[in-house]
C-alpha cells in the first residue's frame, strides 16, 4: 500500500463514499419529485463508481502489473459512465420539457 500517500488514500476513499452519497441523494430527489428519470441518472452514475473502485483496488495492490487489466476496465467504465450520464441527463431534460409543455396546455 505504499504506492499512495495517506492523504491521497484519504481523497480516494472519501471520493468513492461521496459518490455513493450523491447517488443516494439523486434517488431521493427523484422519489420526492415523483420523476423516475432521476433514478436513471443515479443508475448511470454506477459505472463511474465501479471505475473508482477499480482504481482503488489497483492502488491497494501497489499498482501490480498483473492487475493492469483493472486500468483498462477503469478506462472503459469511465467512458461508458460518462456516456450513460450524458444520456440520462438528456432524457431527464426532455422529460421535464415535455412536462412543462403539458402544464402550459
The CB density around residue 74, as the number of other CB atoms within 10 Å, is 20
**pLDDT-based confidence at 103, cuts 50/70/90?**
confident
Decide: 66 and 15 in contact? Cβ < 8 Å: no
Tell me the pLDDT band of 1, cut-offs 50, 70 and 90.
Answer: low
- Assess whether pLDDT exceeds 90 at residue 100: no
> What is the pLDDT at residue 18?
97
- Break the chain into its structural domains and give their ranges: 6-104
Q: Where are the beta strands (DSSP E) in 2-102?
A: none
Comparison of pLDDT for 45 and 102, the residue scoring more: 45
In this prediction, residue 3 carries a pLDDT of: 74
What's residue 104's pLDDT? 85
Amino acid at each position: 500500500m505504499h504506492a499512495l500517500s495517506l492523504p491521497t488514500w484519504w481523497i480516494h476513499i472519501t471520493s468513492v463514499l461521496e459518490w455513493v452519497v450523491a447517488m443516494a441523494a439523486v434517488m431521493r430527489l427523484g422519489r420526492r419529485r415523483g420523476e423516475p428519470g432521476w433514478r436513471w441518472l443515479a443508475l448511470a452514475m454506477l459505472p463511474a463508481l465501479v471505475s473508482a473502485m477499480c482504481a482503488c483496488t489497483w492502488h491497494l495492490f501497489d499498482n501490480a502489473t498483473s492487475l493492469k487489466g483493472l486500468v483498462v476496465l477503469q478506462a472503459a467504465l469511465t467512458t461508458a459512465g460518462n456516456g450513460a450520464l450524458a444520456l440520462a441527463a438528456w432524457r431527464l431534460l426532455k422529460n421535464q420539457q415535455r412536462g412543462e409543455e403539458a402544464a402550459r396546455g
